[in-house]
Amino acid sequence: MTDHSDAGHRSWQQILLNRHMLICIFQGFSSGMPLYVLIQLIPAWLRTEGVDLATIGLFTLVTLPYTWKFLWAPFLDRFSLPFLGRRRGWTLASQCLLLLCITQFGGVDPSVNLTAVAWLVFLTSLFSATQDIVLDAYRREMLADDELGTGNSIFINAYRVSSLVPGSLAFVLADLLPWATVFWLVGLFMCVGIITTFLVPETSDERIAPRSVREAVTEPFAEFFGRGGAKSALLILSFMLFYKLGDNMAVALQTPFFLDIGFTLTEIGTVAKFVILGSTIGGTLLGGLLMLKISINRALWIFGFVQIISIFGYAALAKIGNNLYALAAATGLEYLGVGLGTVALTAFIAKQTSRRFTATQFALLTSVTAVPRTFANATTGFIVEAIGYFNFFLLCGMVAVPGMLLLLAVAPWSENEPNQQPGQAPGIDSPSSR
């Protein structure tokens, strides 16, 4: 297992310039690639093959494994494949299956056999969600507490950069080559992850792995709620629900908002989308660098305030209206807050997981944070119609306040954060045992 015994005593150069950060780059790329195949490349392919928009929209239903991945995460904590160890074995299996699935899309004619396409989409999302479960667990077990902010920032940025393969390179290639060749070339990018899996060390400790399926299913919940009591666990879960709720609400209808105040699709595509990508990457990178110097708790406070302030940029845009400079400024500020908040929250989630049940607890907690997005997508349209955009964005700022108040209980500013991980077994997995 990775030695964390020197955590808390290293310079920022020692944290940033080590192989853990390099592993995060390649694993982040491998994790993001299949998702962007599903949400960018597949819809474009189907549309060029004459599939109607309503049918393409229904394909989102077969990507449900991303939402329900915590259901099979306990089995990945409990069982090991007979090669490479508990984490690397499952990682390699999911990556090889992803390579197989992605390369097979081009061999199917969607105008003739749409059912086969649906099955391939479902299997790709299933294996992609499985890869995410194991890579999240691997990253938590690999990174020391003082590496969590930077490591997760690098992982998230590499995840987003991977979109350039199915979302940009593949589109260019599709004008020059048959779709079958395009899917093969895109699928081969999974070799980045496969090669990485062979080269990295195993992180899991079989001595503390669950001993039965029952233990793998029930103990992660029992450990989480028993660690500080049910009240503490509920406060943490509530915080995860509310911390980015205002943020999620503010961006849920941003494209219709831009259109409604007079921007054209070309202006949105050329200004807003590029600013959003740049600001998000910049925010996550800046967050990771700042967390080399500040604790997770203080990052949650500082980045949380930035998130709230950034929402009011959209409120100002609602008053200003059609102005490209205002559009660039508002989206840049908003997604700087999105990037910063994502890094801090991801690091906080990782710190809440026990090393015995990393895969299950990480999958469960990340699923909890997805609930606000669902709520936002389902309700914001009704709210905007009732009160208008300006008042809606003011409301989003107010909705963000409860998450900040919960920080008083779950991540106090002045609290000294221990290096020992939640749920560690003394003598087995604590730094002093090495």
pLDDT tens string 114-123? 889 889 999 9
The pLDDT value recorded for residue 94 is 95
The pLDDT value recorded for residue 57 is 65
Query: Among 87, 152, 177, 94, which Cα is nearest to 128's?
Result: 94
Checking 211-217 for CB contacts under 8 A at 24+ apart, the result is: 212/78, 213/74, 213/75, 213/78, 215/78, 216/74, 216/75, 216/77, 216/78, 216/357, 216/360, 217/74, 217/360
- Hey, CA dihedral for 4, 145, 148, 226, is it positive or negative? positive
Alpha-carbon gap, residue 199 to 222, rounded angstroms? 35
| Relative orientation angle of helices 324-351 and 358-387, to the nearest 10 degrees | 150
The pLDDT value recorded for residue 207 is 67
Contacts of 399 (CB under 8 A, 6+ apart): 242, 245, 246, 249
Cα dist from 141 to 129, 161, 391, whole Å: 19, 24, 44
* Identity of residue 88: R
Tokens for 208?
């503390």
| 279-293 per-position pLDDT tens digit | 888 888 888 788 878
Q: Looking only at Cα atoms, what is the longest distance across the chain?
A: 63
The pLDDT value recorded for residue 111 is 79
| 351-366 per-position pLDDT tens digit | 888 777 777 888 888 7
Contacts of 172 (CB under 8 A, 6+ apart): none
Q: From start to end of 5-117, where are the E strands?
A: none
The pLDDT value recorded for residue 49 is 79
Mean residue pLDDT of the chain comes to 81
Residue 432 above 60 pLDDT?
A: no
Cβ neighbour number for residue 7 with a 10 Å cutoff: 18
pLDDT band for position 319 (cuts 50, 70, 90): very high
Checking 209-217 for CB contacts under 8 A at 24+ apart, the result is: 209/77, 209/78, 209/80, 209/86, 209/356, 210/74, 210/77, 210/78, 210/356, 210/357, 212/78, 213/74, 213/75, 213/78, 215/78, 216/74, 216/75, 216/77, 216/78, 216/357, 216/360, 217/74, 217/360
Query: Among 202, 307, 288, which Cα is nearest to 247's?
Result: 307
The pLDDT value recorded for residue 422 is 45
Query: Among 100, 92, 98, which Cα is nearest to 76's?
Result: 92
Three-class SS of residue 287?
helix
Residue 427 above 70 pLDDT?
A: no
Contacts of 128 (CB under 8 A, 6+ apart): 31, 34, 35, 38, 65, 66, 94, 98
The pLDDT value recorded for residue 188 is 95
What average pLDDT score do residues 376-396 get? Answer: 83
Query: Among 318, 297, 374, 309, which Cα is nearest to 338's?
Result: 309
Contacts of 201 (CB under 8 A, 6+ apart): 2
Residue 265 above 60 pLDDT?
A: yes
Cβ neighbour number for residue 176 with a 10 Å cutoff: 8
Cα dist from 215 to 138, 179, 191, whole Å: 20, 46, 34
Alpha-carbon gap, residue 274 to 257, rounded angstroms? 17
Cα dist from 299 to 339, 340, 408, whole Å: 12, 9, 13
pLDDT band for position 89 (cuts 50, 70, 90): very high
